[in-house]
Each structure stands twice: as structure tokens, then as C-alpha cells.
A = this chain, B = another copy of it.
Amino acid sequence: MKKYCFGIDVGGTTVKCGLFQTDGTVVEKWEIHTRTEENGRLILPDVAETINKKIEERKLKKEEIAGIGIGVPGPVNENGDVAVAVNLHWGFVAVAKEMEQLTGLKVKAGNDANVAALGELWKGGGVGYHNLILVTLGTGVGGGVIINDKIVAGPHGAAGEIGHAHVEDAITDPCNCGNCGCLEQVASATGIVRLAKEELAASDEASLLRKGPISAKSVFDALKAGDALAERIVERFGCYLGKALAVYACVTDPEVFVIGGGVSKAGPILVEYVQKYYKEYAFSTCKSAAFALATLGNDAGIYGAAKMML
């Protein structure tokens, strides 16, 4: 009988680590520094070392450990290989295989955003559901798709790359992905700033936002303070995102959309503006899909990584 599982989330600056009981209870969480020098070749040995130390320190038996789940910021194939992970300075790395050799434990690897979606399904905003789309609103827009409790990775590792749906023909400056008019350009933290600048430039209307500095947070704060111009910005954000989610819904028909990332700290009011447009544009039987805020924050990755292994 397996009692424990490790969940690891490798980021560009820190590696988040979790030791879990197989029921999802956290035994311990800690972090180590991500050493990206030398093309990131030290990262996996560092992770293996901290895991091996933890096993020793807690006197765990290897046969009690189900294995290690590991999320990495790049496309991961079914064998647990990463083609490239820019933030880790990695080219091709056989993550699962290498980690198995370094630890003697079973290892599964997945894309960090997809893994976070599984975490939110298991112990976060999506508890009780089996089909979910996670939308992460941060500097960019990321996502993860779960169908019947399983991550959808996609043969090119691009499933859940929902920030790069084309939503606006009028945008002519390129997104980080090279295309123009991506959801990320209007619904991320930077996208909301774009919309705010457009609205501020379009009129001389008084607004709390004219004092600056403008951020996604200041826009939502102004909305909460009753600022009409801020409301127009959030309406536009909600329309772009709600409409896009309605399109995604007719592909996989999720039970719940979980909204996370820094921008989601705005709280339930954000969901309200997105869900309003979602309901307007979604196919009839999809209109009832639930909306929830993510609850695990930066821990979604370690939860999901552990769950992926179980």
C-alpha cells in the first residue's frame, strides 16, 4: 500500500516541492532555487537530491512512495520528455526517465499549466468535478483542460494554450507567440492595461485611473469604487474572455471553468463580468457550466503533480 507521493513544480526561479499523503493531505511543502546555469543541467539533480534527502530525513521507505509527479514549463509528451523549456534554459530533456534514474522512484512529467488544472480539480476550485478548463490570468493567459479527471496534453503539447485563441482582428501588434489578436493580448494583466489605455485615450471622462499607475489591480479597484470608465474596461475584458470560453465549451463541454492567476485576486466580481458574457454566447446545454475562482494559488502545481502520479 502506497502512503506518500511527491509533487514537484519546476519554475524559472524556484522549484516548489510537496510531500503528500495519497489522500491529498500535505505532509510538508518547501522550495529550492532553480539553477538555470549550464543550460539548466543541474535542475533535475537538485530536485532529486532534495527528494532523496527528504526521504532520509523522514525515514520513509521507498516502497511506501507512489512516485514523483513533476510539472515543467514547456510541452511534455506522453513519455515525459520535454522538447524545450525556455525559462529553464532547456532543450530536449527526458524528464521522467532522468528523474527515475536519479531517484529510483516512478516519475510522471507534465506541462505546468496542465498540471495546475489537475491540482485545482483535485483539491482546489474544481473539487467535485471531472471535466474542467482552468484559465490562468497572469502576465499572460494560460490554461489547462481536464476531461474525465485526466490532463489533455495534445500531441504537440499545445492543448490548453487557450491564451492564444484569436479573438480580435483589430489588434495589429504581435502577441509573444507571433500572432496578432490573441486572447492573451486583451485578457491578461497586460491585456487589461491595454484596454485601460484605450478607454482613457478615447475620452476625457473623469476616472480614478487617470491618477495612474494603471494595472489590472487598479482597474478592478476603481470598478469596485464605482468608476464608470473602469467598468467599461472590465465589460470589454469580460466580453472577450466570456465569449472565448463559450467557444472552448463547444469543443470539450466542461462542467466548470476555474479562473486563477494574479488577476483573479480581483475576486468574485471578475467572475461575474466573465460569466455574464459566457452565458450570452455559450451553446444552450453549456450555459449551465459552473464558474469558480482557483483556490490553491501557487500550490496548484504541486497538488496537480502529485495527483498525476497517483
Give bound CA distance, A255 to B77, whole Å: 14
A284 touches B178 (CB 8 A): yes
Q: Give every chain B residue within 8 A of A255 (Cβ-Cβ).
A: 155
Given contacts A130-B155, A147-B152, A251-B160, contact A246 B166 (CB under 8 A): yes
A286 within 8 A of B: yes
Residues in B whose Cβ lies below 8 Å from that of A179: 281, 283-284
Does A253 contact B154, Cβ atoms closer than 8 Å? yes
A273 to chain B, nearest CB (A): 17
User: Which of chain B's residues has its CB closest to A248's CB?
Assistant: B251
Q: Mark A263-289, 1 if CB is under 8 A from B, else 0.
A: 000000000000000000101111010
Is A222 among interface residues, defined by CB-CB distance under 8 A? Answer: no
- Whether the pair B166, A247 counts as a contact (CB closer than 8 A) is yes
Q: What residue of chain B has the Cβ atom nearest to residue A167's Cβ?
A: B247
Q: Is the CB of A162 within 8 A of B250?
A: yes
Interface status of A177 (Cβ within 8 A of chain B): yes
Q: Which residues of B contact A247 (CB under 8 A)?
A: 165-166, 244, 247-248
List CB contacts (< 8 Å) of A271-310 with chain B: 281, 283-286, 288
A 144-174 contacts with B by CB, 8 A: 145, 147, 152-166
A281–B281 Cα gap in the complex (Å)? 21
- Does A131 sit at the interface, judged by CB under 8 A? yes
Chain A to chain B contacts (Cβ below 8 Å), 22 pairs:
A75-B285, A131-B154, A131-B155, A154-B252, A154-B254, A155-B253, A157-B253, A157-B285, A161-B250, A161-B285, A161-B286, A164-B250, A165-B247, A165-B250, A166-B246, A166-B247, A177-B283, A177-B284, A178-B284, A244-B247, A251-B251, A252-B252
Taking Cβ atoms with an 8 Å cutoff, the residues of A that contact B are 75, 130-131, 133, 145, 147, 152-166, 177-179, 243-244, 246-255, 281, 283-286, 288
